[in-house]
């Protein structure tokens, strides 16, 4: 396959629904793996929290589960997170920055340990193409 025909093949793939759906699944599962690692939550523990089997969590992490908005929200809530959906112009670079509300930081600090809001992380910057 020549370089120009490969570029054309890839350009057509990028315009397909399947390619874009798989990209969204990959984004979600990467975020899910990151949050699970940050919070030291195992597959078995996540399964317990959402009331399902560890095998189902494995399907989610592999991206082979048929995601619904409801299932994504349920998983996110089990990890103390929210699902955020964003429509962006095709080809744009999206930068996500999670900045905690100062009032939320106080309630998190009060409900966990002796940390103060100033000791809480300021947020995470995640870039997605």
Span 85-94, pLDDT tens digits: 889 898 888 8
Which 3 state secondary structure label does DSSP give 124? strand
Measured CA to CA, the distance from residue 62 to residue 57 in angstroms comes to: 9
Considering the domain architecture, whether residues 21 and 37 belong to the same structural domain is answered as: yes
- pLDDT level of residue 105 (50, 70, 90 thresholds): low
* Residue 28 shares a structural domain with residue 63: yes
Mean pLDDT (the chain, rounded): 81
Q: Are residues 45 and 73 in the same domain?
A: yes
Choose between 118 and 26: higher pLDDT.
26
Report helix, strand or coil for 90: coil
- CA dist 52 and 56 (Å) reads 7
pTM for this entry? 0.69
What pLDDT is attached to residue 29? 95
Q: Are 13 and 23 contacting, i.e. CB atoms less than 8 angstroms apart?
A: no
Same domain? For 37 and 78 the reply is: yes
Both tokens of 119, joined, read 């000791």
Segments forming the whole domain that contains residue 42: 1-85
- Mean pLDDT for 123-128 is 44
Same domain, 101 and 71: no
99 shares its domain with 79: no
pLDDT at 12: 86
Q: Tell me the pLDDT band of 62, cut-offs 50, 70 and 90.
A: very high
Q: How many domains does the chain have?
A: 2
Same domain for 68 and 17? yes
**Do 63 and 5 reside in the same domain of the chain?**
yes
């Amino acid at each position: 396959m020549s370089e120009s025909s490969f570029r054309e093949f890839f350009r057509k793939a990028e315009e397909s629904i399947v390619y874009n759906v798989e990209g969204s699944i990959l984004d979600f599962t990467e975020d899910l793996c990151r949050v699970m690692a940050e919070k030291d939550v195992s597959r078995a523990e996540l399964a317990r929290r959402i009331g399902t089997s560890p095998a189902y969590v494995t399907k989610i992490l592999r991206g082979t589960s048929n995601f619904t908005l409801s299932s994504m929200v349920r998983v996110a809530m089990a990890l103390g997170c929210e699902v955020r959906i964003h429509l962006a112009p095709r080809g744009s670079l999206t930068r996500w920055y999670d900045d905690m509300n100062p009032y939320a930081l106080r309630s998190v600090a009060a409900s966990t340990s002796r940390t103060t809001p100033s000791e809480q992380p300021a947020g995470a910057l995640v870039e997605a193409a």
